[in-house]
């Protein structure tokens, strides 16, 4: 159940839930296997968005899920049954999380980047007849997050605003809107 609506997942389906989406799982079958991965906001802020192209649906979805969840409460479903590569990535990811070993964090990070990138390819293949352009505000917010992350040691409100050709006040408002934090935080 997602937002009160029954959803049947088939073998190989992968569902990504927005932050705070109300969901539950009915009784599963004897041969059903379900993995539930919870990823916190800090993970995406600190490393993930730097790896994704700012012009993709996955970055858009994650950005809304992390910072505007009170508006959307959505989810994405991917059927990956025929995709052995994704199956192998998920198995490797699960192994690294269940039995951590040397460099498990780096391997886990890499698996997640590859997984989300492959899911993006699946999405684009499924939606190739539609044109999916991100709103300009979403592109800017991802660029801002990447810029702050890359320059956090020397950045000032004035220098960041100047980089994006905004006034400091407007830039500060954008940061607050998309992160819920002020620029200094």
Q: How far is CA 16 from CA 123, 160, 169, in A?
A: 13, 32, 35
Higher local confidence (pLDDT), 146 or 8: 8
Q: Tell me, what's the pLDDT at 28?
A: 83
Q: Is pLDDT of 50 > 80? A: no
The whole-model pTM stands at 0.57
């Amino acid at each position: 159940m997602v937002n009160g609506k029954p959803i049947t997942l088939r073998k190989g389906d992968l569902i990504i839930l927005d932050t705070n989406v109300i969901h539950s799982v009915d009784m599963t079958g004897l041969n059903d296997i379900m993995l539930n991965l919870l990823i916190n906001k800090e993970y995406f802020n600190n490393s993930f968005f730097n790896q994704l192209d700012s012009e993709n649906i996955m970055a858009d979805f994650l950005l809304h899920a992390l910072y505007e969840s009170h508006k959307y409460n959505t989810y994405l479903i991917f059927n990956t049954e025929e995709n052995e590569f994704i199956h192998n990535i998920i198995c490797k990811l699960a192994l690294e999380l269940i039995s951590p070993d040397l460099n498990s964090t780096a391997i886990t990070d890499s698996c997640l980047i590859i997984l989300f990138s492959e899911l993006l390819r699946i999405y684009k293949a499924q939606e190739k007849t539609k044109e999916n352009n991100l709103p300009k505000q979403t592109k800017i917010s991802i660029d801002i997050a990447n810029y702050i992350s890359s320059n956090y040691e020397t950045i000032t409100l004035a220098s960041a605003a100047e980089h994006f050709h905004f006034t400091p006040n407007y830039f500060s408002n954008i940061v607050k809107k998309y992160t819920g934090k002020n620029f200094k935080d």
